[in-house]
Amino acid sequence: MNLTVRLRMLRIALVVFGLIFLVGVYPLMNFWWPSGWRWQPNQPEYEQMILGIYATLGIFLLIASRNPLRHRSLIWFTVWSSLVHGGIMAVQAMNMNAERGHLLGDVPALILVAVVLAILTPIGATAEKAASAA
């Protein structure tokens, strides 16, 4: 895949994930699939914190979609924080029977975000060359 196509796909991924983080997490937690996205018993303080963090990240991913090469550190933060968050949740869900739904819900979703962004984000000399040309 050439760099132009890769950057176009990265921009699309940033918009999609940014919108999901900004406006999609709340309905997933509360209406569409609570067992895969909401920890039990309902913990409103935790939920408000997570919604605030992910809405903020969503806004910044949308900003990054305009020029991903200038926002590589944010993209890599999203990759690594998604992997860490998903990994911790996976361990917790495996140890708590009531939370097993997360293994089919937000855990794979976070891993998907990390993998897609990691694959599409140029690194090393490719990134530097593209950034200097932009």
- pLDDT of residue 121 exceeding 70, the answer is yes
**Cα(134)–Cα(107) distance, rounded to whole angstroms?**
35
- pLDDT at position 9 is 97
Nearest to 57 by CA among 36, 76, 35: 76
- pLDDT at position 35 is 73
Percent of the chain beyond pLDDT 90?
57
Total domains, the chain: 1
Distance from first CA to last CA of the chain, Å, rounded? Answer: 18
pTM score, two decimals? 0.88
Nearest to 67 by CA among 114, 112, 129, 14: 14
SS3 90: helix
Q: Tens of pLDDT along 39-61?
A: 777 778 888 898 999 999 999 99
Q: Which domain holds residue 48?
A: 3-133
**Token pair 């992910």 in the structure block, residue:** 54
